[in-house]
Structure 1
Amino acid sequence: MCGLVSPSRSWSEDVIPPAPLEERHKAVSLADAAVRALQNNLDISISRHTKESRLTDIVVEQAKFDPTVSVNGQYLRTVDPLNRPVFGATGFQLNRITKLDQRNHVLSVDAATKPLDGGTVDVSYRPARNSVNQDLAEGFLFNPAWTGGLTLTFNQPLLKNAGISINPTFIKAAQKQCGRRTAHFRDRVLTVIASVEQNYWELVFARENVKVAQAALKAAEELLANNRAKPRQESCLSSMCSRPRPPSLPEWNRS
C-alpha cells in the first residue's frame, strides 16, 4: 500500500534553507573613514557645487571689464550701364552699352575696453579697396583705390558710474558671497569630520567593551564551574570520613 505525502510536507522538504551570511571584517583607519564620509555626503557635494558657482560669478563680473576685439568684412559689387561718357575711357561715343562694374572691399577692425573708472576706450581701423572694370580703368587715376581710417574714441562719465571705487562693487559683492560659501563649505567639512571621528572612537570603545565583557563572562563561567565542583569534592571527602573502620584483631590472632 502506497502512502501519499501531503503537498505541504513535500514542498517543505524541497526548500533549501539559506546559508548563513559570513561576517566581513575590514580594517578602516580614521582617515579612510573621514574620506569616505566626505565623498558620500550629499550636503558636502551641494556645498562644493555652490562654492564653484560663486567662483563663476566672480569671473562673470570681472569679464565686464575685459577688452573685446571684433573683425568684420564686407564685399559689395555693383554693375550699372553707363548713360554718360567717362573721360579717358569711352570718349564721346556711346554707340553700345557699356557697363560700369564697381567692386568695394571693406575690412573693419575694432578693439574696445572698459576701465575701472567707468569710461570706455574704442579703437577702430577701417581700410577699404575700390576698383572698376578694366575696360574703363583708363578713365580713373587710381584703380584700384585704397582708403583707410583710424578712429580713437574715449568716453568718461562725470556723475553716474564714475570712479574706481564704484565700478568694482559687483566684483567685491561676488567675492564676499564666494568667501561666505567657502566658509560654509569648510564648516560642513569640519562638522562631518568631527562626527566621523566621534562615531569612530565610539565604535572602538564599543568593540573594546565587548572584549572586556567577553573576558568577564569567561572568568565568571570558570568561577561558576569551580564553585560547582567544590560541593562534589566536599561530599566525597565527607563520605570517605564517615565509613566505619574494620574491627581490630586480638593479640593472639595477630601472631
Structure 2
Amino acid sequence: MLLRTLITGTLLAAGAFAQLSSFPKPAYFRETFSKSQPKVELKDPVRLKDFVVGDKLELSLKDYLALVMSNNTDIQLQMLSLETPKNAIQRAFGIWDPRATASFNSTRATTPPTSALDGTANALKTLSQPLAMSVTQTLPEGINYTVAWGGSKATSNSNLSTYNPALASNLSITFSQPLLQNRGTYVNRLNLMSARSRLKINEFGLKGSLLNLVSTAESAYWDVVSARESLKVAIGARDVSAEFLKLSQKQLELGALSPLDIYNPQQQLATNEVSVAQARFTLTQREDALRKQISADLDPQVRALPLVLTDAADMPLESINFDRERAIQQALEVRPDLKQAVQSLDVDDLGIQAARNALLPNLALTGNYTVNGRGGVFVERTNAFNNSGVSSTVLTSIPGGIADALDQMFGFGFSSYQLGLRLTLPIRSRAASADMADAVVRRKQDTLTVRTTQQTIRLDILNAITNVESSKESVKLAKVAREFAQKALDAENKKYELGTELSQNVLLAQNALAQAESTVVTNQIALRKNLLNLLVKIGTLLDERGIVLQP
C-alpha cells in the first residue's frame, strides 16, 4: 500500500511540474550537485604574427588599435563588467520561480489506553505515514498560488477502527491576490525593469571606459612615434656636431685654429652623444609600454622583435577645422557619461514607484479549494461494544487501497471552499515614508547631475577645440622657426669656412636648429594628442577609429 501511495503521489507531482516551463532539465541534478570547480582559462594573444614583416613587427595605427581591442588585458577586464548586471536581470526573474516541496514522515507509537474509546485493553499501537507534495509560485500579476497534494496511511490495533489500515488523500489549491500593494504586472516587474536599466547604465559606463582605454593605447602609439622622431633629431644633431668637429680638426692641423678652440666642438659632440643615449632609452621604455597594450609582452617570439610604426607624426593642417557648436551638440547626443546620467533618471523613477507601492496598505483576496478522499481496508463489526464492555468481533473485511481514496477525491464529493480578505494596515509607516523621501532626493540629485554633466561637456569641448587650434598654429610656427634655424646654421657655417666667424656661434646655431626640430616634433605629437582628446570629449573616438562593440 505504502509503495503505491508513494508512486501515485510522485506521478501527481510530476504532472503538476510538467505544466511549468521552468521545470528542471534532465541535467539539473547533475549540474546542481556536481563538485567540479569552474575553470578560468586565459587566452593567448591573437593575430600578432600577422603583422610580422621580415624580422620586425610593423603596425599602422589602425592595425595597432585592432590588436589592442583583441588582446589588451584591461579591455578584456572591462568587458566582464557587464556580466554582473546581466546576472542581476536573471536574479530579478527569481521571484517568479516555482518552488516544489515534498515531505514524508513515518511515526510509530505505543501508548497506554486511557479509555474504552481506545479500542484495546492492552497497549495502543499506531503507525502514521503522511506524504505531502506542493508547488508554489508567484505569477507576474502578483498572484501567489499553491497546489498541494497530501496522502497518509494510518494503522492501529484499536478494535474500534473502521478502516485499518486507513488511507486518505487530499488535493488543495490556495491563492492570494494582492488588491492594493503589489497589485498588477507593472508593479511586480519594477525590480526587473530596474535591473535592465542598470544594465544600460553599465553599458554606457563600459563605452566610457573603452574610450579612455583606447585613448591611452593610442597615446602610447604616438609616444613611441615621438620618441622615435626625437631620436632622429638627436642623431642628426650628433652627426652635424661630428662633421663640425672634423672640420675644426682639419683647421687645427693647418694652423688656422687655435688649440684652445677645439674643446668647444668636442664638448658639443659629447653632449649630443649623451642626448642620443637618453633618446634611445626613452624609445625603449615607450616601446615596452606599447607592447603591453597589445599583449605582445606575453608572446616570447614577438616581444623581442623591433617595432616599426608606419603612421607619421606630421599631418595635413588644412583639414583640421571644427565647428564649436556642432561639436557640442554632437557630444550631447553621444557622450556615454551623459547617457549614463540620463538613464539613472529612469532608475530613480522606478525607485519612486516602488517606494509609493510600499506605502499602500496590504489588502489581499485569499481563497482555497480542497477535495478529500478515503480508502483502505473496511472492517465491519456487529456493534461497537457488547454488554461486558469488550469490543465486538469482526464480521468481515473489505479490501481497499489508495485507488479508492483517489477515486473518491477526484469524485469531488467531499470538498470545501474558502474565500477571504486579509488587510494589513500600518498605523505608521516611517520606514516606507523615509524610503520615499530618499527616492525623491535621488531623483533631484541625478537631475542636477545631468545638468552639470551637460555643462562639463560644453566646457570640455571648448577647451579641447582651443587646444587643437593652439597646437595647429604652434606646428605652423615651429616649422617656420625650423626653416630660419636651418638658414642661420648654413650662414654661420659659411662664415666659419671663410674665417670670419667664431666656432662658438656655429655651435649655438647647431643647438638652435636641434631645438627647433625638437619643437616641431613636440608640437606635431601634441596636435595628434589634442585631436585624440577632442574625439574622446565628443565621444566619437571609437567610431572614428572603426571600432564596433559586439552586443
Q: What is the CA–CA distance in structure 1 between the aligned matches of 2:237 and 2:155, rounded to whole Å?
A: 109
Distance, in Å, in 2 between the alignment partners of 1:33 and 1:56 is 27
Residue 139 of structure 1: how far off its partner (Å)? 6.0
Q: Give the RMSD, CA atoms, in angstroms.
A: 3.4
Q: Could you tell me how far apart the structure 2 residues matched to 1:227 and 1:208 are?
A: 29
Letter of the 1:79 counterpart: T
In structure 2, the CA distance between the partners of 1:206 and 1:150, relative to structure 1 (3 Å rule), is same
User: Could you tell me which residue of structure 1 aligns to residue 132 of structure 2?
Assistant: 108
| Correspondence for 2:155 among 116, 131, 134 | 131
Alignment correspondent of 1:244: none
Contact 2:142 2:184 in 1 (8 A): yes
Superposed, 1:118-157 pairs within 5 Å as 118-133=142-157, 140-157=161-178
Match of 1:169 in 2: 190
> Residues 50-61 of structure 1: matches in 2 within 5 Å?
51-61=82-92
Q: Report the Cα distance in structure 2 between the residues aligned to 1:129 and 1:166, rounded to whole angstroms.
A: 44
Residue type of the alignment partner of 1:201: W
Q: Which whole-Å CA distance do the structure 2 matches of 1:117 and 1:213 have between them?
A: 76
Supply the AA of the counterpart residue of 2:96: F
Q: Secondary structure at the match of 2:142?
A: coil
Partner of 2:102: 71
Secondary structure of 1:202 counterpart: helix
2:112 and 2:230 mapped to 1: Cα distance? 108
Listed as ranges, the gaps of 5+ residues in structure 2 are 1-55, 257-551
1:210 equivalent to 2:228? Answer no
- Contact 1:37 1:192 (8 Å CA) reproduced: no
Q: 1:76 to 1:182 in 2, by over 3 A?
A: same
More helix by share: 2
Distance in 1 between the 2:186 and 2:68 partners? 48
For residues 85 and 169 of structure 1, what CA distance do their matches in structure 2 show? 59
Contact 1:117–1:164 (CA under 8 A) maintained in structure 2: yes
- For residues 36 and 220 of structure 1, what CA distance do their matches in structure 2 show? 43
- What letter corresponds to residue 38 of structure 1 in structure 2? D
Q: Which residue of structure 2 aligns with residue 226 of structure 1? A: 247
CA distance in 2, matches of 1:37, 1:226: 54
- Find the aligned partners of 1:28 and 1:132 in 2 and give their Cα distance: 92
Partners of 2:117 and 2:193 lie apart in 1 by 69
Residue 38 of structure 1: aligned partner: 74
Secondary structure of 2:163's counterpart equals coil
Larger Cα-atom Rg? 1
Cα drift, residue 140 of structure 1: 4.2
Q: One-letter code of the match for 1:153? A: T
Displacement of 1:132 after TM fit?
A: 1.7
Alignment check: 8 A CA contact 1:129 1:146 kept:
yes
> Any conservation in 2 of the 1:102–1:131 contact (CA below 8 Å)?
yes
The CA deviation at 1:213 is: 2.2
Q: Which residue of the partner structure matches residue 158 of structure 1?
A: 179
Give 3-state SS (helix, strand or coil) of 2:232's partner. helix
Q: Residues 117 and 160 of structure 2 are in contact (CA less than 8 Å); yes or no, is this contact kept in structure 1?
A: no
User: How many percent identity over aligned positions?
Assistant: 21
Do the aligned residues in 2 keep the contact of 1:38 with 1:189 (CA within 8 Å)?
A: no
Asked if residue 196 in structure 1 is aligned to residue 217 in structure 2, the reply is: yes
Note closer, same or farther for the CA distance 1:179–1:125 as it changes in structure 2 (3 Å cut).
Answer: same
AA partner of residue 242 (structure 2): E
Give the distance between the partners of 2:221 and 2:192, measured in 1 at CA.
43
Output the CA distance in 2 between the equivalents of 1:163 and 1:199.
55
| 1:80 counterpart = 2:80 | no
| Residues 198-231 of structure 1: CA deviation (Å, up to 9, x unaligned) | 1222222212321342134214312431354257
Q: Between 58-67 and 111-120, report the one with greater CA deviation.
A: 58-67
Looking at structure 1, the residues matched to 181 and 122 of structure 2 have their Cα atoms a distance apart, in angstroms, of 59
TM-score scaled by structure 1?
A: 0.63
- Which residue type is aligned with residue 213 of structure 1? A
TM value normalised by structure 2:
0.31
Per-residue Cα deviation, 1:64-113 (whole angstroms, up to 9, x for no partner): 111111112233333233443888xx7xxxxxx51221111111111011
Contact kept? 1:110, 1:124, Cα under 8 Å: yes
Q: Which runs of 5+ in 1 are unaligned?
A: 1-25, 91-96, 236-255
Partner deviation per Cα, 1:119-163 (whole Å, 9 max, x = no partner): 112100011010124xx5x76453222111011123222333222
Kindly provide the CA deviation profile for residues 12-58 of structure 1, in whole angstroms up to 9, marking residues without a partner as x.
xxxxxxxxxxxxxx979746677456179xxx66x955x54433433
**CA–CA distance in 1 between the matches of 2:118 and 2:187?**
62
Does the 8 A contact of 1:72 with 1:109 survive in 2?
yes
Number of equivalent positions:
194
CA contact (8 A) 1:68 1:112 kept: yes
Alignment of 1:177-196 (within 5 A): 177-196=198-217
Q: Report the Cα distance in structure 1 between the residues aligned to 2:100 and 2:182, rounded to whole angstroms.
A: 24
